[in-house]
Amino acid sequence: MDLLDILFTVGLFAVFLSFLPFTLVFLFLHLGSSRQVLENSDESFNSPSEDSDTIIHFVTGGFSGATKVALEIVRGSNQNQNFKSILVLRRKKSTDPMRVQQVIDGGIEVCLVPGWAHLATILEFTRLLKKWNPRVLVCHGFSEHLWGRYAGILAKVPHIIHVEHNSRERYSPWRLRQARWLSRYTGQIVGVSEGVRQNLLRLDFPHDKTIAINNGINLEPYQSLKHTNFRDRSPNIVMAARFAKQKDHLTLIRAVGVLVKRGFSPDVYLAGTGNNRHSARAQSLVKDLEVQDYVHFLGFCDYIPDLLLSNRICVLSTHYEGMPLSLSEGMAAGCAVIGSSVVGVKEMINHKHDGLLVEPLSTEALADGLETLLTDLDLAERLASTARQRAMNELSTEVMVDRYEQMIVSLLQRKI
């Protein structure tokens, strides 16, 4: 067998594996004993015992923004004691056991399922769902919302929710077809901003099931920590974001190079871990532009509130978003915020009212916006004050959790 034969065989096997989860669930639905029920009703599963108020949230174990949102919903729901919520993480290579333990120590019940193969994820998660017998399953983010919903169908969970966390997910044509098919057995589809919802509708997800619930953040650290007067803060820049294809650290670094040539010398703090390749590219660009004295790589940072509260400017240079938590945190901290004018960010910032929007991928536009905030302190302070007030009124986890709970209660009241 030559190399071409081997590659062809491997390719066929990969295609087979990609179709296997869909095939198994399709056969279960259409050839199993539940077939007639499914054909006659949207409420297609047998109900668990009525005294079971367990809600399962399924999300990546990579501790992305989706993980943080799911964690806050679980924490808020358990504090309200309306439901018993459990967080299930799909294990990734980047899953940090210490961070998982921190979540557990915080009083959240956490379970990990294997992530080395989609079928392994589905089978183990199905087993756990049958054990817990939840009334609602909430599947967060791509591609977890595919594998989680397959497991939910196999386990006959009565109500399944799909939460889309980004405006530009990595849908191949086959995975998009799966997601649309799964929407038949999904009670509600949630976009984490109106921009995400509109994108879901453009992808032909069902209009009557698709709603928007804005992400929220825990405001307590920003309320309890000393809110330093804006003008007493360091005139520096913070970007808290993981290193990934989605984020645009490179344009920010180039903008710093432009600012240095214009005579400015701000410290720029890049907080976050992520993909080593993207991080290495950013560090290489810093060296090439000779801005090592200005750009600081902080890695994983567990003191984001302190960092933001002690500096004036929060920036998010990005290619696309859902509803970025880093901007919400910057606004809550009373920073002057500036972001790329892309879906997800445009819904967050009202230009020149509570922040600045700049053309994406434009070094000059970002440099100009940062220069404005560094030099026009009256404008920067006004934007920061307005942004903080908006965050306190609109962007709390309490508001987010309340909307999710209202949605879940509405689903539970539907006739099974």
312: tokens are 């004036």
**Class of the domain covering 36-216+398-412:** alpha beta
- How far is C-alpha 336 from the chain's CA centre? 23
Q: What is the CATH number of domain 220-395?
A: 3.40.50.2000
Cβ proximity of 197 and 212 under 8 Å: yes
Give the helix/strand (H/E) hosting 238.
strand 234-240
Beta-bridge mates of residue 112: 89
Instruction: Give the model's pLDDT for residue 83.
Output: 83
The answer for residues whose C-beta is within 8 angstroms of residue 182's C-beta and 6 or more apart is 145, 146, 149, 150, 153, 162
Say how far apart CA 179 and CA 173 lie, in whole Å.
Answer: 10
Bridge partner list, 295:
268
Neighbouring residues of 173: CB distance < 8 A, sequence distance ≥ 6? none
Question: Which tokens is 67 given?
Answer: 């993980």
**Cα–Cα distance, 97 to 366 (Å, whole number):** 37
Rg (CA), the chain: 23
Which residue, 229, 248, 245, is CA-closest to 380? 229
**Residue 88 and residue 128 in contact, taking contact as beta carbons nearer than 8 Å:** yes
Half-sphere exposure of 156 (CA within 13 A, CB side): 18
Rounded to whole angstroms, the Cα distance separating 392 from 388 reads 6
**Is-contact 75 58, C-beta < 8 A?**
no
pLDDT by 10s per residue, the chain, length 416: 555 444 444 444 454 456 667 665 655 655 554 433 333 333 333 444 444 589 999 999 988 889 999 999 999 888 877 788 999 999 998 899 999 999 999 999 999 999 999 999 999 999 999 999 999 999 999 999 999 999 999 999 999 999 999 988 889 999 999 999 999 999 999 999 999 999 999 999 999 999 999 999 999 999 876 667 899 999 999 999 999 999 999 999 999 999 999 999 999 999 999 889 999 999 999 999 999 999 999 999 989 999 999 999 999 999 999 999 999 999 999 999 999 999 999 989 999 999 999 999 999 999 999 999 999 999 999 999 999 999 999 999 999 999 999 999 999 988 65
Q: What is the pLDDT of residue 82?
A: 74
Question: Residue 337 and residue 331: Cα distance in Å, rounded?
Answer: 7
The amino acid that residue 118 corresponds to is: H
Question: From CA 10, how far away is CA 66, in angstroms rounded?
Answer: 33
Give the domain ranges of the chain.
36-216+398-412, 220-395
The token pair at 147 is 């594998």
Common-topology check for domains 36-216+398-412 and 220-395: yes
pTM for this structure?
Answer: 0.81
What does the DSSP assignment read for 180-228?
HHHGGG-SEEEESSHHHHHHHHHTT--GGGEEE----B--HHHHHS---
- DSSP lists the bridge partners of residue 88 as 58, 111
Mean pLDDT (the chain) is 88
